[in-house]
Amino acid sequence: MFELKTIALFFLTAIAEILGCYLPYLWLKEHKTAWLLLPAALCLSLFAWLLSLHPAAAGRVYAAYGGVYIAVALIWLWLVDGIKPSIWDMVGAGVALLGMAIIMFAPRNS
C-alpha cells in the first residue's frame, strides 16, 4: 500500500510541476495571456508542497521523483502535444521508473 501511495503522490506532483511550467510556456511561446502565470505559481507551490509529504529523506525523494517525472512528461507529450512516444521513449521511461522503484522501495537498515 505504501508503494501505491508513493507512486500516486509522485504522479500528482509531476502533473503540478508540468502545469506550473507549461502555463508560462504558453505565455512565452504561444503569446497567451500573462494571467496564466498566476495558476502556474499555484501549481509550482502545490508541486513543492506535494514533495514535502513524502516521509523519506528529501534527497532520496527528489532523486526518485525524477523517474516518475520522465514517465508523466511522456504521457503529457502524447495527450497534450499529440505526439506518440517512440519505443525508445517508452524504454527510457521504463528504466527511469525502475530506478525510482529501486531508490524508494529498496530495503533500508535504518
What pLDDT, on the 0 to 100 scale, is given for residue 58? 85
Distance of alpha carbon 74 from alpha carbon 65, whole angstroms? 14
Band (pLDDT 50/70/90 cuts) for residue 110 is low
Quickly tell me which residue has 505504501 as its cell.
Answer: 2
Model pLDDT for residues 26-40, shown as the tens digit of each residue: 999 999 999 999 999
Distance of alpha carbon 41 from alpha carbon 60, whole angstroms? 25
How many CA atoms lie within 13 Å of 25's alpha carbon, on the beta-carbon side? 7
Burial of 16 (0-12, 13-18, 19+ CB in 10 A): buried
More confident: 102 or 57:
102
